[in-house]
Structure formats: C-alpha cells, structure tokens
Chain A
C-alpha cells in the first residue's frame, strides 16, 4: 500500500500510532460519554488529513467555478466544517445511512462520490452523480440520501430511514444532520418524539456553524444549547473543529443507539468561512476579524496537522506531498468536469417515475411530444 511504502522508504522516524486526548464533551442526560483519550494510527491520521484537504480544495474550486458562472443557482460551501463529516464518517461504515441538508458536498465526498462526480454535477454535466438533474443540493449515493433543499425536511426523513434499518433488524444507524437554523423547525421535534417513542437507531446531529443564513444563533433560538434541545433525548456537545473528538462521539453514539437505547442528539460546534451560499459575502452579519480569528486559531485542518506532526505520526514533508497530490486530484477533476459532455435534452423528460411503462411527457407547448424513456 502506498502509505506504508512511504513509511518504509522515507519516514522511518514516525510512529505507527499514538495516544490522543481530545477536547471535552458536554453531556445532556447522559451519565457516561465518549472517550476523551483514544488511539490514532498513522494510517488514520493521513487518511483524515487527506480527506479534509480534498474537501477544502474541492469547495474552493467550486467557489471559483461559481464565480466564472460554470456553476449556477445555489452553492453552499462546507469550508471550515470539514472535521464534522470526516470525523463522523470515519466512525461509520457505508452501510450506515446519512442524510443531510443542502451544504452537502463534503458529505457527498465522504459517502463515496468522487470529487469529479461532485464537480461534474455542479457544472451540470451528464457525468455528474445525478446526471446533471440534481445540482448542488441533490446528490445521492448508496445509503446517502442527499442533499435536501427544504430546511428541516431531512430530519423526519432520517428518522424514517432509521425506522427501515430497525424494521429489517440491521445493525446500522442513520445519521441525520441539520443546521442551527433548522434546529427550530417543528418537524424536527415531531421526528424527535417518534424516534424516542420507537427507539429508532437515529443519531441527530446539529452542525452549529453559528449562523442560520444571516441570523446569528442568539437571534433565532431561545435556547442555543442545541445538544439539549432533544429534551428527553440525551445529547452530547462536541468541538466540531476537532476531527478526533467528532469521531469518538460518533463511535460512542453508534454503540449507544445499536444497543437499543434509542436516539441521540449531537451538536458539533463548527464554523463556515464562506457566506451562507455563493450569493452571500458573509460579512454583513459578522466581522472579517471574526472569520480571520477562526481561520488562524481554530482551523480544523491546520490544528489537526499540528497535532499529528507533534505526535510523530507524520512529518511536514509527508503532508506537503499529500497537499500536492490533493491539488492535482482536484485540478484534474475540474478540467475533466469542464470538458465532460452536457446532458441530452431528452433527459429532461426521463426519471419522473420508476418502473413505469413508457408514456408521453408534455413539454412546453401542445405540439412538442416527448417520451419518458
């Protein structure tokens, strides 16, 4: 394997694993919480670092493509929040399900869609993961149910996916993510109620990036302790900039749910560097200084890099090599996406229904006749 080859060749001074202490958790109605002391292997360190860098670079590329009008409509970037999806997914398998809202590109990547598949979808190509029919907010993969455009709607859906796992006696959970803005939605509390009543294997995760679009949390929520908002559902607050803390909390939560104890509500406190979407500069409701401060002092990738170098799991040079490889991967993905073919017009009229005999689909006038397949 490439990583161990490099280990043998150049990095014989690094260790194979190290003990790590993560930031503290806050608990709600839980006597015991996730481990703050854990083991991080060299392979894991390099994997998580690379994954976060891919997402960071991919989102930067998406921002650039948007500004040059290659991406249209809505584009919500995940930059700053990488530790959330990387930490959570590395405590899950791809048999566990995930569903999230519209800030979904990082999640799409962690759920198995390549950077090319994501960028091709964003640029409306037929090679996109949804053949150009979904766009930024509607990317799907096996056991990854998007990408959802309606704030909060994904939460009852996630509880339903958890119900399906329980119904089939599967040893898997459904992780359902929502933001601090969505956290006040009524349907979320309806989902909490049924998840708790029926002990659904559901992990509800509030990605609290402090702003619901342009509204700061304390202007939208009477209680900003999102991990307690499940009330009768126990909760955990996690420093969302610490990828290992996020991983440990997720490991704990998956075990908890699958032991039949029912759902949990996690709050990962994080931050987004960009505005809400590409049409929001993100500076009318927060200061540039605030953004800069987080970038300098709490960036999830920089702080992880420092940690794994300190722990001797890797070296500066090795990480530079990874940076180079990530840059190449994203550059190639962008070039390929831009060159990929666009979908045929006939695709407008396909996929309205599943497994349904061919029928005529009406176009935009009475004389244009199209077929569904």
Chain B
C-alpha cells in the first residue's frame, strides 16, 4: 500500500481544483495567516473562555500541574491557578457528578475525561443527571457543562482504550454531541460548547491532536464560534457524497484525492456535530451526487452511519439515490493490539475507495492503492 503524504486540506484542494471556487470557508475568508495544531486550538479555546467568563472552570485528571495527559491543557494552570483548573483524583463517577452538580448550581464546568473510555464509569451522571434534568424539571434547572476528551482509536492502545462513543451519546436527547476535525473546528466548536447552556459531549481525537491545519484569519480571534449543528463541505464533488466526522474526514479526503485520479469526483461532508445532525447538509449533498457513503471510526452496528442511512431513506432524498447507502466503519471486533490486526480493524482509505467504486459500479481493477 502506498503511503500518503499528510498535507493540510487546503493545499490538496488548491492543486486539484485550481480553476474552481474551492471550499466555501477557506476561499471566502482572508488569506490564511497561521497554522495551528488541533491541540493548540483546543488550548486556545479554553484559555479564551476561562478568561472571558468567571463561571467557567476546568477539572479532570492531570489537567493542572501535569499540563494535561495529552498536553491539551498545557499552561492553563500556570495562567489561572487552583480555583479555575482543578486536578481530580482518579474517580470519574465522583468528579463527573461533582461537575454536573456545580453546573446545576450555576457554574460552567469543563469536565475532562482522559479518554472517553473512562467516561463509561461516569455515564450515569452524564445521561441521568446532566442530559435529562432540564426536561425533568420542565426548564427550571439547566446544566451548562462540557464533557471533553479523546474519543475512539488511538494507536496500539488495544481494546479497552479504543472505543468510539459517538453513537452512544448521539442516541440521547438532552445532550449535544460535537466532533471536530480541523483546528478551526476544534476552536470554534469548543468555544460554542462552553457557551452553550446544555450538556455538550465534545469528542476529540488523539491522533489529530498534533496535526497542523491552516487557520483562517477569523479563527484566530477570541470571538470565533462554529455553530453546533452545522456541517462543513470540506471538498465539493458531484459523483458521490462521503459523510464523516473526526479522523474519518481525513480518510475521506485522502480517498477523494485517489478517486479524482480515476475521474471520480467525491464530495466530502465534515459533520462537525453528531447531535444535532446537520440533516439538511447531508440531504442537499445526496440530492446533488445521488450516491452516499458514510465513514466512521466506531463499530458498524447501531452506529452514526446507520442513523444517517435511516434519515436519508425517510427523506425525499431517497428518490435521488441511484444506489443503496453504504457504510464504512470500524470492524465489528474489540480493538486488537498488533499493528496489522489494528489496521484491519480501522476504516482505511482503501475501504472508502472500494465502497465508492462498488456503489458507482466502477471496475475495481482500476482501484489504485
């Protein structure tokens, strides 16, 4: 399998579509003036919001003096001190409950889970205490909390540290669930999540933390917000729609580049939000391309792709489909450790390319790998 050079999205786009107006957002903004990694943008978002609103504070394991297990919260403790940045013991159910209680009582906590695998220990507090309270109290009590941390596969961390929770949390009314891809996404969505008066599950990706992205001018400002519930077209196309979130967007863009060499124009939709899902963006794209592939890192059954499939089938976009919707996902196994087994468990570019070609009934002999 050929290796792919990891390049920022904008440069790939400019090379392939030099004559067309490219991604709406990157082209209409002023010249990109800086690169930031996802980690830096998350840090920046939290710093700005903690400075802006005295009610915002952060708690979690190793977030303060250790600078964060993945260094996402680096420097915040130095800047803000003990009151705003709180190291907790390794007791997820307890500190998540404390964070939810503090939110009920009017503060705006950011509760970090070192990974979302550990959030399972706290899931009762997330669902039964946070998500449902505004409804049960008929609007008397709201819970303005953000639960954030890395979600899904990392590299070589095996079964108990690799699960994707997008579908689990996306299932629950009362939660908002967001999932950034780029650095601009990360910054704008985290700021929106912190300002939202509801519990927001903010699913990051450890593999993307270190990846640099071009930041448009406005994303560098301290009032840059990305609305929750709005997807982004990362790459326009006409033959097939690839809908994804988080790392899956990167794989989809890589697949799109390969497909372009074979004359197939793929549109890549970056969901950015799992709940609420930007159904309009998906349906508009499907009506344009007539073919849909969903891409996600989580397990196939009862997943995000299943939901998108059902949504499209129930809509008027169904009549625009020229082929069944097809899902690309993680394999239906707990994550194995060995490199080749792990690779076989995670959606690769080849899975997407194969799925597109089968959907479009293109000869698979043309498949480049």
> What residues make up the interface of A, taking CB atoms closer than 8 Å to B?
97, 99, 130-134, 138, 140-141, 145-146, 148-150, 153, 155-165, 167-168, 174, 186-187, 190-191, 193-194, 197, 350-356, 359, 366
Contact = CB atoms under 8 A, between A and B. Distances in A.
Interface in B87-144: 88-89, 91, 93-107, 124-125, 128-129, 133-142, 144
Given A145-B141, A157-B101, A354-B134, A150 B124 contact: yes
Contacts of B125: 153, 156-157
Nearest to B314: A366
A191 B94 contact: yes
B52 interface: no
Contacts, number: 143
Contacts of B89: 190, 193-194, 197
A349 B206 CA distance: 36
Nearest to B127: A150
Contacts of B106: 164, 168
A370 to B, nearest CB: 12
A148 B93 contact: no
B73 interface: no
Contact of B128 (A153, A352, A354): A153
A366 B318 CA distance: 14
A158 B98 CA distance: 7
B8 interface: no
A14 to B, nearest CB: 41
Contact of B129 (A97, A141, A157, A190): A157
A163 to B, nearest CB: 5
Interface residues of B, number: 43
Given A156-B96, A191-B98, A359-B276, 19 more contacts: A97-B105, A99-B101, A130-B138, A131-B138, A133-B136, A145-B141, A156-B95, A156-B100, A156-B125, A157-B101, A158-B101, A159-B98, A161-B101, A187-B93, A193-B94, A352-B174, A355-B198, A356-B197, A366-B314
A141 B142 CA distance: 13
A161 B102 contact: yes
B198 A130 contact: no
Contacts of A165: 105
Please indicate which of the listed interface residues A145, A194, A351, A354 has the most CB atoms of chain B within 10 Å of its own CB: A354
12 contacts: A133-B138, A134-B138, A138-B137, A140-B140, A153-B124, A156-B101, A167-B107, A187-B93, A194-B88, A194-B91, A194-B95, A352-B173
A150 B144 CA distance: 21
A109 B94 CA distance: 29
Contacts of B173: 352
A162 B142 CA distance: 17
Given A145-B141, A164-B105, A354-B198, A157 B134 contact: no
Contacts of A159: 94, 97-98, 101
B94 A130 contact: no
Contacts of B83: 167
A364 to B, nearest CB: 13
Contacts of A150: 124, 128-129
Interface string B169-197: 00001101000000000000000000011
A122 B106 CA distance: 27
B260 to A, nearest CB: 36
A144 to B, nearest CB: 10
B213 interface: no
A193 B92 CA distance: 12
